[in-house]
Amino acid sequence: MLFGLYGAAGYGREVMPLLRAQLPENAEAVFIDDGDTPPYVNGHRCLAWRAFLAGPGKERAVCLAIADGAVRARLAQTCADADIGFCSVRAANVEIMDDVQIGEGAILSPFVTLTSNIRIGRHFHANIYSYVAHDCVIGDFVTFAPAVKCNGNVVVEDHAYIGTGAILRQGRPGAPLTIGRGAVVGMGAVVTKDVPPGVTVMGNPARAMRGR
């Protein structure tokens, strides 16, 4: 079986050892990248998409190691159109507690914690030391950069990007803190109130960025 990790840049190179550690016997992991990349990256073959499809054998799966949620969504559709399935990647020391549901294609990096009663959509990225606490709902193609602190009763809608070290204040049952679709939470931001769709917030407390 051939496993393709889409993206040979920094994040992909961090994820590859995690994918390699969970491979079944006689399986190979390769990078997929359509940019100007060498034929081998960190000892693994690096193939363009068409070369990945044209390789021998019929069993293959892809994991999307691209931080931009919109790009991940486009690549997911490309894979679906080619009838290519998805695999998830999970570090050995990830902690997952009670009643946690995760969609296909997730990447859970080392020291990630998911506590209880959590719903997570497709192609979620949780980078190192991030956590999601109780009663949270995370949409599709959401990215958590390293050390994101997502406290309980938070809703993060599709395609949101949460920057390194950001803190999302705990919501309340029936009144969750909501990060809107496509919103961006800047590095180190402390979010104390809802973020509208498509808005970028920064600072402590987090405030919307305004155009010049």
Active site residue 123: no
- Alpha-carbon gap, residue 68 to 73, rounded angstroms: 9
Max alpha carbon distance in the chain (Å)? 56
Q: Are 156 and 182 in contact (CB under 8 A)?
A: no
- Residue 68 makes CB contacts below 8 A (sequence gap 6+) with 143, 161
Cα 86–95–7 angle (5° rounding)? 35
Q: Which of 44, 123, 134, 159 is catalytic?
A: 134
- Residue 109 makes CB contacts below 8 A (sequence gap 6+) with 14, 15, 18, 91, 94, 126, 127, 128, 130, 146
Joined tokens for residue 67:
């931080």
Q: Which residue has the tokens 């390789």?
A: 55
Q: Which residue has the tokens 């009763």?
A: 153
**Residues designated catalytic:** 134
